[in-house]
Structure 1
Amino acid sequence: MTDAPGSAPGPLPGPGAVLVLGEALIDLVPTGDEAEAHLAQPGGAPANVATGLARLATPSWFAGALGNDGFARSIERRLLSAGVELGLCARPDLPTALAVADPGPDGTGYHFHLQSTATFQLPQRMDVERFAAVYAGGLAAVVEPAASAVAVTARAAAAGGPLLVVDPNVRDDRTLDASDGGRRLRELCELGRVVKASDEDLAALWPDATPDETCRRLAADGRLVVLTRGSRGSTAYSADCAEPVSVPATPVEVVNTIGAGDAFTAAVITWLVPRGVRGGRLPEFTPALLQDMLGFASGVAASVVGQAGTEPSLPAPV
């Protein structure tokens, strides 16, 4: 296996660059009316976020692992075509992990094929100080050996420097250790300065509290917490505001929901980075600012929901 060095051999991150840490894999998505037919498309929440950032013109560096098969080459083409910098990626001589999507009326479930794959052989040394923000979450936060690398990098970011953004992206599958995974994701959320999570995520991680109660508790410690509820819109919690701020979901004819939450996260980061987040600082929020952020992110997520792919675009000017 070849490993990425601790710093990029090519161009260095400029102001406003975001480090995205985690997995890039292949989603096998049912297609047409044939239950046996599946479309292979690049996915993985962190890879989706990295692509979304680049599509939204935010400098994006992906620190994952790309293997040696055709799927890895497809993932690489997707990331590079979006403008994602791959100088920090590890390049193990292993195949790519697969996630078999199972869409249903309550969202998309997944069944994972993870063992002996390149996907979780993340680089172990990250110079986070060069970045304005660091994103962590997804399967890499709970699947070893990636989980240890994510935890170390998240702690380094939380200690000062970049803004640590966490999206737990809770997944339920027989291949995952629910108890250990839940512990790791709770610890990651507690480290983050920004936590974006769905109501299902929070109900799974803190089952003894309502999602609203969990968001208020996390925000009381100085975090920005963004709660997404699918077609029911989103809510932002900040200690700067007496009450949370909610916006409805942007109306759109639903074609696909895969990747919508990742596009939302990329949009939140894109909105935050130009507003002085260096040193882990958050802007001073007002209800109007929170409403503007949520409206922007909702529009970006709608651009994914309204099409067959997972590539977001900027919302049209109002």
Structure 2
Amino acid sequence: MTRESEPYDVLVVGSANADLVIGVERRPGAGETVLGSDLATHPGGKGANQAVAAARLGARTGLVGRVGEDAHGRLLLDSLRAAGVDTAGVLVGGAPTGVAVITVDPSGDNSIVVSPGANARLSPGDIAAAGPLLARARVVSTQLEIPLDTVAALVDALPPDARLVLNPSPPAPLPDRVLAACDPLVVNEHEARFILGDAAGGTPEEWARGLLGLGPRSVVITLGAAGALAADGRTGEPVRVASPAVTAVDTTGAGDAFTAALAWRLGRGDDLAGATGFAVRVGAAAVTARGAQESYPTAERAVAL
């Protein structure tokens, strides 16, 4: 647990969900019913996932978010605290805990439907109240499973020396001032194409240049088994980072592990390409086990890949 006098290596502002996971032989098409495995319930949500992943790597970590006063909320708080995450910024009550219904096929690919619940009640006022926590943050990481006006309020409330990492998932149109604060904007192929729209080029390098043209200070594009691409608008051309070869079991939450690792290493002073290289290894380790938070590696395990 982080003491009140200590800075956060990473402060996550975001969602906390209960993940309801069902294994399927194949994901259903429109109007189709398929049989699946027994239902498994896991702690999840992009914000809680990132916080747990960063803490497991060794970062001093806190979470600002909301959960319900229910069994799913207790599950999430227990998981966060067990990982060493400071939960002083997690508000309880006002709506049921958010839920994600996830189907996972034999290749490890997943489809997800999210009911935001309490996450949708995380407000700009909550961000203002979290000012003392923000003041202790070296890096602030956020996503879009909370309201966009809350993310915009977070941008306005950032301390001048804090770095913002934003994963715009699920994708939504971003205000210019939010884009301008991103350092980096972390996207996968789908998110990059959504943001760029008709301006999307044919290669990740073209996507990165297009995204930088919209205002972020830097961009990281995740490429699945192919690794990632890092583009710092201050230093030059995009750099590709390869992923170690692994057998994917479940990709649920792997992007959150990647983003958490990236944020932590940037806060430690790594350059963008170096931090991305470490994050790729953490993401690769995460896909080799089932579940989201349960799969997150220690730094030693990631480096050993």
How far residue 124 of structure 1 moved from its aligned partner, in angstroms, is 3.5
Letter in 2 for 1:82: A
Q: Deviations over 1:267-311 (max 9, x none)?
A: 111211111xxxxxxx7x5xxx71x32321111111110011323
Q: Deviations over 1:152-210 (max 9, x none)?
A: 112222x7231011111226xxxxxxxxxx22477633331211111111111221122
Task: Give the conservation status (yes or no) of the 8 Å contact 1:164–1:193.
Answer: yes
Measure, in 2, the Cα distance between the counterparts of 1:111 and 1:71.
17
Secondary structure of the residue aligned to 1:267 is helix
How far residue 26 of structure 1 moved from its aligned partner, in angstroms, is 1.2
Secondary structure of the residue aligned to 1:89 is strand
Measure, in 1, the Cα distance between the counterparts of 2:290 and 2:176.
32
Measure, in 1, the Cα distance between the counterparts of 2:177 and 2:101.
28
Do the aligned partners of residues 49 and 233 (structure 1) sit closer, same or farther apart at CA in structure 2, a change above 3 Å counting?
A: same
Measure, in 1, the Cα distance between the counterparts of 2:175 and 2:38.
33
Measure, in 1, the Cα distance between the counterparts of 2:40 and 2:155.
33
Measure, in 2, the Cα distance between the counterparts of 1:187 and 1:193.
12
Structure having the higher strand fraction is 2
Q: Which runs of 5+ in 1 are unaligned?
A: 1-9, 172-181, 276-282
Measure, in 1, the Cα distance between the counterparts of 2:92 and 2:5.
20
**Counterparts of 1:1-318 in structure 2 under 5 Å?**
11-12=3-4, 14-31=6-23, 34-35=35-36, 37-103=38-104, 107-114=109-116, 117-122=117-122, 123-125=126-128, 126-127=130-131, 128-140=134-146, 143=147, 147-157=148-158, 160-170=160-170, 182-184=172-174, 188-210=178-200, 212-219=205-212, 223-275=217-269, 285=271, 290=273, 292-311=274-293, 312-313=296-297, 314=299, 315-317=302-304
Q: Which runs of 5+ in 2 are unaligned?
A: 26-34
TM-score by length of 1: 0.79
Letter in 1 for 2:258: F
Measure, in 2, the Cα distance between the counterparts of 1:107 and 1:190.
32
Measure, in 1, the Cα distance between the counterparts of 2:71 and 2:79.
13
How far residue 243 of structure 1 moved from its aligned partner, in angstroms, is 2.0
Instruction: Provide the identity percentage.
Output: 28
Task: Give the conservation status (yes or no) of the 8 Å contact 1:168–1:189.
Answer: no
Task: Give the conservation status (yes or no) of the 8 Å contact 1:90–1:121.
Answer: no
| Comparing 98-107 and 263-272, the one that deviates more | 98-107
Measure, in 1, the Cα distance between the counterparts of 2:110 and 2:24.
16
Aligned residues: 279
Measure, in 2, the Cα distance between the counterparts of 1:186 and 1:226.
18
How far residue 75 of structure 1 moved from its aligned partner, in angstroms, is 0.8
Secondary structure of the residue aligned to 2:95 is coil
Letter in 2 for 1:73: R
